C-alpha cells in the first residue's frame, strides 16, 4: 500500500506542475507549520504562501526523508515548532537552480504513510505522515530507482573543454559547499557565501594577471555534489584544482590558513574528522554515493602510478611559501593531509585551502576584511605562478 503511494507521488508532482504558474518564489510560513510526533508517527505540516510542484522519497544510510520543492524560500524553517524525537537533524536550501530541498535525518526506518498538498486551507499545506517501518521494507523503498519525471536538472552543466592555450594555466576554483549545504556558520556568515565571494575575487586577480584561465565549479549559491566538482574540473581540462574552505573545527587549536592534500592516512584526527564531515554534508544533502567505492578504488590505484603526488606536494610548498611571504597567518602545521573526496582526481594536482577557520573569531575577522582577502588572493596567485614555473621546468627535464 505504501509502496503504491510512493509510486503515485511522481504523478502528483506532474499534476501540480501543470496546474500552477511557477514563476514566483513560495515562502514557508513557520507559524502555520509544525514538526511533531503523533503517537509513533512523525507528522510534518509545511504551510506555503502558494502551491508548488513537489515530491518526496526516502533514502538510507543514514535513513532520511528528502522533500524537493520548486522555488521555496526556507528561511523560516528554524522558527517552525519542532517536537519530533524521530527527526535527528534537518537542513534545507537551494539544491539546483529552481529547486530547493528539505532533508530530515531520521533516527530509524520510517516510511511515508501519507503525503498530500492540502489546498483547502487559507494557505496550501504539505502534510506528510511517516510511520515506523521494518528495516527491510525501508531499505526496499530507499533502493527504488527514481520514478520517471523525478530527475532534476543537471547539477551543473559541464563546461566545454577550454580552448587549449598553453601559455595560460587553467585553474579550476572550487568554492566549498553551497545551497542546501551552507558549510560552517558563525555570526550570520556562512562558509558557502564567504567562499563564493572569495573565489570571485581570486578569479579576478588571476585573470588580471594574464597567466591564467579560470573555471569555477559554482557561480552561485547552489549545491554541487563533490563528485560533480571533480567532473567539472576534468571536463574543463584543469591543470590545477583549488578548493576553497573556511570550516569550523572544534578539535584542537585551529587558527590560520591551512593547506590540505589527499592521503589515505590523515595527518591527525582533526584532519580526518574534517574530511569525513565534508563527505557527510555531501551525503546528507541527498547525494547517492553508492557508486563511489568503485570510483575511489580506481582513483587510488591510478594515484599510485602517476606523478601527481609529488606535483601536489610541490604545489602545497609553493602556496605555503607565497602565503608566508605575504606575511599572512598560517596554521602552526600549515600542510596537512586527509582523504578529502573532492581532491581525488587522479591526474590533476588538487589542493584544499582552508583560508581560515570560522570557529576562530580572529580568522572570521580576517575573512570578512576586503584588504586581507586581497592579500590572500595575491598570495595564491603568486604561489600558483611559482609552482607552474617549477612544474614546467621539471617536466621539461623529464622529457627525453
Ligand atoms: Zn568546508
Domain of 98, CATH number, reads: 2.60.40.3500
Look up the CATH number of the domain holding residue 237: 3.40.630.40
pLDDT at 51: 84
User: Does 135 reside within a domain?
Assistant: yes
Number of neighbouring beta carbons within 10 Å of residue 392: 12
* Most confident among 4-8, 230-234, 291-295, 359-363 (mean pLDDT): 359-363
Residues 234 and 90 in one domain: no
* Most confident among 64-73, 102-111, 141-150, 339-348 (mean pLDDT): 102-111
Phi, psi of 230 (to 5 degrees): -65, -40
Of 23-27, 126-130, 316-320, least confident by mean pLDDT is: 23-27
User: Does 164 reside within a domain?
Assistant: no
| Residues paired with residue 334 on neighbouring β-strands, in sequence order | none
Residues 90 and 185 in one domain: no
Residues 204 and 337 in one domain: yes
CA 91–ligand 1 middle distance (angstroms)? 16
Closest residue by Cα to residue 147 from 68, 61, 43: 68
**pLDDT (average), residues 213-228:** 90
pLDDT confidence tier of residue 99, bands split at 50, 70 and 90: confident
CA 228–ligand 1 middle distance (angstroms)? 16
pLDDT digits (tens, 9 = 90+) for 268-289: 888 898 998 888 888 777 555 4
Residues 208 and 296 in one domain: yes
Residues 228 and 126 in one domain: no
Number of neighbouring beta carbons within 10 Å of residue 44: 27
Closest residue by Cα to residue 215 from 197, 194, 191, 241: 241
Global pTM reads 0.77
pLDDT at position 386 over 80:
yes
Residues 285 and 352 in one domain: yes
CA 190–ligand 1 middle distance (angstroms)? 10
CA 220–ligand 1 middle distance (angstroms)? 16
CA 355–ligand 1 middle distance (angstroms)? 10
Residues 179 and 107 in one domain: no
CA 246–ligand 1 middle distance (angstroms)? 6
Q: 93 lies in which domain range?
A: 2-143
| Residues paired with residue 35 on neighbouring β-strands, in sequence order | 44, 82
User: Does 158 reside within a domain?
Assistant: no
Residues 193 and 96 in one domain: no
User: Does 133 reside within a domain?
Assistant: yes
Answer whether 196's CB lies under 8 Å from 270's CB: no
Residues 132 and 197 in one domain: no
CA 132–ligand 1 middle distance (angstroms)? 34
Q: Which residue has the cell 506555503?
A: 48
Distance (Å, whole) CA 243 – CA 349: 11
Residues 124 and 205 in one domain: no
Residues 207 and 351 in one domain: yes
pLDDT digits (tens, 9 = 90+) for 178-203: 988 999 999 999 999 999 999 999 99
CA 181–ligand 1 middle distance (angstroms)? 10
CA 94–ligand 1 middle distance (angstroms)? 17
pLDDT at 241: 97
Phi, psi of 94 (to 5 degrees): -70, 135
Number of domains making up the chain: 2
User: Does 91 reside within a domain?
Assistant: yes
pLDDT digits (tens, 9 = 90+) for 305-336: 467 889 999 999 999 999 999 999 999 999 99
Residues 139 and 66 in one domain: yes
Boundary residue ending a domain (109, 143, 177): 143
Amino acid at each position: 500500500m505504501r509502496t503504491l503511494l510512493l509510486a503515485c507521488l511522481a504523478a502528483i508532482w506532474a499534476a501540480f506542475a501543470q496546474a500552477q504558474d511557477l514563476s514566483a518564489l513560495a515562502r514557508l510560513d513557520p507559524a502555520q507549520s509544525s514538526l511533531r510526533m503523533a503517537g509513533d508517527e512523525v507528522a510534518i505540516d509545511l504551510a506555503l504562501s502558494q502551491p508548488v510542484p513537489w515530491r518526496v522519497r526516502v533514502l538510507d544510510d543514514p535513513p532520511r526523508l528528502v522533500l524537493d520543492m520548486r522555488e521555496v524560500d526556507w528561511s523560516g524553517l528554524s522558527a517552525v515548532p519542532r517536537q519530533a524525537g524521530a527527526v535527528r537533524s534537518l537542513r534545507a536550501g537551494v539544491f539546483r537552480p529552481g529547486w530547493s530541498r528539505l532533508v530530515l535525518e531520521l533516527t530509524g526506518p520510517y516510511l511515508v504513510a501519507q503525503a498530500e498538498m492540502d489546498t483547502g486551507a487559507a494557505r496550501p499545506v504539505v502534510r506528510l505522515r511517516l510511520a515506523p517501518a521494518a528495516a527491510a521494507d525501508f531499505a526496499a523503498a530507499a533502493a527504488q530507482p527514481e520514478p520517471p519525471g523525478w530527475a532534476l536538472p543537471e547539477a551543473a552543466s559541464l563546461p566545454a573543454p577550454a580552448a587549449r592555450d598553453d601559455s595560460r594555466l587553467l585553474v579550476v576554483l572550487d568554492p566549498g559547499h553551497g545551497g542546501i549545504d551552507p558549510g560552517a556558520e558563525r555570526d550570520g556568515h556562512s562558509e558557502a557565501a564567504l567562499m563564493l565571494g572569495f573565489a570571485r575575487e581570486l578569479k579576478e586577480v588571476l585573470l588580471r594577471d594574464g597567466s591564467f584561465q579560470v573555471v569555477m565549479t559554482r557561480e552561485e549559491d547552489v549545491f554541487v555534489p563533490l563528485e560533480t566538482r571533480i567532473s567539472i574540473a576534468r571536463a574543463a581540462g584543469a591543470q590545477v584544482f583549488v578548493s576553497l574552505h573556511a570550516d569550523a573545527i572544534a578539535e584542537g587549536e585551529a587558527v590560520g590558513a591551512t593547506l590540505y592534500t589527499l592521503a589515505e592516512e590523515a595527518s591527525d584526527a582533526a584532519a580526518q574528522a574534517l574530511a569525513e564531515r565534508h563527505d557527510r554534508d555531501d551525503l546528507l544533502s541527498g547525494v547517492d554515493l553508492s557508486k563511489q567505492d568503485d570510483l575511489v578504488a580506481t582513483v587510488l590505484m591510478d594515484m599510485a602510478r602517476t606523478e601527481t603526488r609529488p606535483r601536489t606536494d610541490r604545489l602545497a610548498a609553493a602556496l605555503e611559501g607565497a602565503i608566508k611571504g605575504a606575511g599572512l597567518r598560517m596554521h602552526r602545521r600549515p600542510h596537512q593531509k586527509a582523504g578529502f573526496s573532492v581532491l581525488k582526481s587522479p591526474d590533476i594536482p588538487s589542493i584544499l585551502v582552508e583560508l581560515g577557520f570560522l570557529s576562530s573569531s580572529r580568522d572570521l575577522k580576517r575573512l570578512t576584511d576586503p584588504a586581507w582577502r586581497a592579500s590572500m588572493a595575491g598570495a595564491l596567485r603568486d604561489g600558483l605562478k611559482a609552482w607552474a614555473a617549477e612544474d614546467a621546468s621539471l617536466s621539461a627535464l623529464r622529457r627525453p
